[in-house]
Amino acid sequence: MFTIGHHHNKESLARRASILSLARNFTIDLLDTVEILNVLFEIAKEHKTDFPLVLEDIVLAIVTLNLLRPSVSLISLFMDHFSTRRRALEIKIAKTIMELLLLNIPLLTIRIYLSVHYGEFLSVFLVKNIMGSIVGMVEIYDCVYDIYEYKNEKVTESESSEPGKEGTDF
């Protein structure tokens, strides 16, 4: 919210939209993280004897990393502002992979495990984790494709600007 409130650059509407999207996504991700903690503590209370402490430690580690993830995205947004198009795509790939590996896939796996082993627990965030994983994979594919196109553009530009090739088409 601090970033949204202090970003008044009218020249960069795409950047402002990116910041607003970041804030929206992190709000939902924060609710997702808090909800998994709530479920974890409820199940741990009900099943004190057979609840694995390793699972509790894993969930707490994932939650902690997810609470730190917004700062990494803000740093990537800052770096994106001063970087080339290719670097921006590489940063987006890294951010998306981090979102997949630290948020959607682990929380999806934990939710499925808790549902199977401790009863009928289903959440709307289960669907969010599935959709987030699919969207993340599509984003990675799009970025890799854009990097490939960018490389081809650079090769084409360098070939057309070679000194010996100008003025030879008569």
Q: How confident is the model at residue 131 (pLDDT cuts 50, 70, 90)?
A: very high
CB 114 within 8 A of CB 39: yes
Length of the chain: 170
pLDDT in tens, 91-123: 788 888 988 998 999 999 998 988 888 876 778
Least Cα distance to 129 among 60, 31, 38 occurs for 31
pLDDT in tens, 35-91: 988 888 888 888 877 878 888 888 889 988 888 887 777 776 676 665 566 677 777
Furthest-apart CA pair in the chain: how many Å? 86
Q: Any residues with CB less than 8 A from the CB of 60 and at least 6 apart, and which?
A: none
